[in-house]
Amino acid sequence: MRTLGIGGAGSKIALSLDPEATVINVSQIELEKTDAANKLLAVVHSSEGQLQGSRKDPQIGRDAFLSIKEQVQSLASGGLVLASTGGGTGNGLSTGLLNELSALSSVPQTDKTRFGFILPYPHAEPTEYVNNTIDFLENPLSTAIDTGNTGNIYLFSNRRKFESRLPEEEFNQQLADSLKHFLAIPEKNASCRLLDGHIDYEDFALYQARPYFNHFTYFTYDPDTPFGEQLEPNHNPLLLEPDTPIEALFLLEMPKNSDPTCFYDILDYFTDLNVSPVYSVVENPQLRNPRVTVSLLYSRKPAELVADFQRVSEAQTEAKVRKSLEQNVELPKLEVNLENEAKRVARRQGADEDDVLAILRRLGKL
């Protein structure tokens, strides 16, 4: 697996996951600080930017993308990209990459890029981080998903980090370990005794190439309690909550000498949702109770995605997010800042910003 970490958070988490990861930054200082073996500097045109990073401005990241476009595209092809959505670097460079992917007519399954995005916790993090994230979720992320040209997308949230007051390094390790556990599914199929079904490397690669959000989780499974009742309270606290699945995958690990037929109950749960999961049941002699690792692939429209992100925060914070959303569409604001708003709309619709501005000027609106 090839791993790419972009910006501060993306780089740290990528390295926790894979010491061979390539880290990308616009900040020379940040790149010098990391002990990554593979580093890539994106060039920005202001000298401060080169030293300081994107200072929460995704436009700087988007411009810098152009300097390393080919390298990023080839590194990301068939790989996993990790970035936060709040700052300027991870957000801006990922936007460049997603827009390039969206413009392709199709992407072969083996070249699909998977993404892991780390969303801020609005209650405790600066408004810029929240607003940058909303822009990112509405577009380019939703657009890229609509084209079907990405692989799975994991939406991590910093909620647990702040709520449980975790040291950053420990939280990053939790994210990495959780993802490692999910990614180990085909390895376990190869090394453990198979009891039913089978997920080989190719099945797993095919599943990961599906262009949907992936919510994965794992927990001790009690065969005497309905699966649905166990799944919901065991959603992965590091990820955004999932929606109704379109596709699913599960691995059931059974202790020695136990009855593996309880997997039929899990199958029934998905059949009721009209989903036929990819699955396997293996024997794991190290376990004392059955353990299930389950993944749900689901899709969201842009507004729902922003609502999911809002739901991560508490009521008080929701008001803050809503306010920032309203500011983006409110009429008086629009008049005050028509030029910026026009650029935003142009970008969102994939139109040329300069063309739109020229037309507005001609009409006397600017």
In the chain, what is the straight-line distance between the N-terminal and C-terminal CA atoms, in Å? 50
Torsion over CA: 110, 68, 344, 322 (sign): positive
Residue 280 interacts with ligand GTP (CB under 6 A): yes or no = no
Q: How far is the CB of 8 from ligand GTP (least distance, A)?
A: 3
Binding-residue pattern over the window 226 to 255 for ligand GTP, x denoting contact by CB under 6 A: ------------------------------
- Beta-strand pair 3-6/247-254: unpaired
Q: How far is the CB of 219 from ligand GTP (least distance, A)?
A: 22
127-136 helix and 58-65 helix, angle to the nearest 10 degrees: 50
| 137 token code pair | 């979720």
Number of residues binding to ligand GTP, judged by CB under 6 A = 23
Q: Judge residue 109's burial from the number of C-beta atoms within 10 Å of its C-beta, 0-12 exposed, 13-18 middle, 19 or more buried.
A: middle
Residue 300 interacts with ligand GTP (CB under 6 A): yes or no = no
Q: What are phi and psi of 160, to 5 degrees?
A: -65, -35
What is the DSSP-derived secondary structure letter of residue 23? E
Rounded Cα distance, 83 and 89, in Å: 8
Residue 65 interacts with ligand GTP (CB under 6 A): yes or no = no
Nearer to Mg ion (CB atom), residue 34 or residue 230:
34
Nearest by Cα to 7 from 35, 47, 37, 40: 40
Q: How far is CA 137 from CA 95, 140, 342, in A?
A: 10, 7, 19
Residue 84 interacts with ligand GTP (CB under 6 A): yes or no = yes
Q: How far is CA 359 from CA 154, 328, 337, 343, 365, in A?
A: 39, 21, 16, 12, 9
Residue 118 interacts with ligand GTP (CB under 6 A): yes or no = yes
Nearer to Mg ion (CB atom), residue 10 or residue 151:
10
**Piece in contact with ligand GTP (CB under 6 A), picked from 2-10, 229-237, 276-284, 298-306:** 2-10
Residue 64 interacts with ligand GTP (CB under 6 A): yes or no = no
**Piece in contact with ligand GTP (CB under 6 A), picked from 72-80, 82-90, 190-198, 240-248:** 82-90
Nearer to Mg ion (CB atom), residue 40 or residue 359:
40
- Report, in this order, helix, strand and coil percent for the chain, each rounded to 5: 50, 15, 30
Stretch 1-20 residues interacting with Mg ion (CB under 5 A): 8
Contacted by 49, from ligand GTP, Mg ion, none: CB < 5 to 8 Å by type: none
Q: How far is the CB of 8 from Mg ion (least distance, A)?
A: 3
| 341 token code pair | 């708003």
Q: How far is the CB of 32 from Mg ion (least distance, A)?
A: 14
Q: How far is the CB of 166 from ligand GTP (least distance, A)?
A: 9
Which contiguous run of DSSP H or E holds residue 48? Answer: helix 47-52
Nearer to Mg ion (CB atom), residue 55 or residue 333:
55
Beta-strand runs (E) in the chain: 3-6, 22-25, 38-41, 80-84, 114-119, 153-157, 193-197, 213-220, 247-254, 278-283, 291-298
Residue 61 interacts with Mg ion (CB under 5 A): yes or no = no
Q: Which of 22, 131, 172, 295 binds ligand GTP (CB under 6 A)?
A: 172
Residue 88 interacts with ligand GTP (CB under 6 A): yes or no = yes
Q: Which residues contact 103 (CB under 8 A, 6 or more apart)?
A: none
Residue 157 interacts with ligand GTP (CB under 6 A): yes or no = no
Stretch 305-334 residues interacting with ligand GTP (CB under 6 A): none
Q: How far is CA 224 from CA 105, 227, 262, 297, 298, in A?
A: 48, 9, 9, 26, 27
Q: How far is the CB of 268 from ligand GTP (least distance, A)?
A: 37
Number of residues binding to Mg ion, judged by CB under 5 A = 3
Contacted by 160, from Mg ion, ligand GTP, none: CB < 5 to 8 Å by type: none
Residue 78 interacts with Mg ion (CB under 5 A): yes or no = no
Q: Which residues bind Mg ion (CB under 5 A)?
A: 8, 53, 87
Q: Which residues bind ligand GTP (CB under 6 A)?
A: 7-9, 12, 53-56, 84, 86-90, 118, 120, 125, 129, 158, 161, 168, 171-172
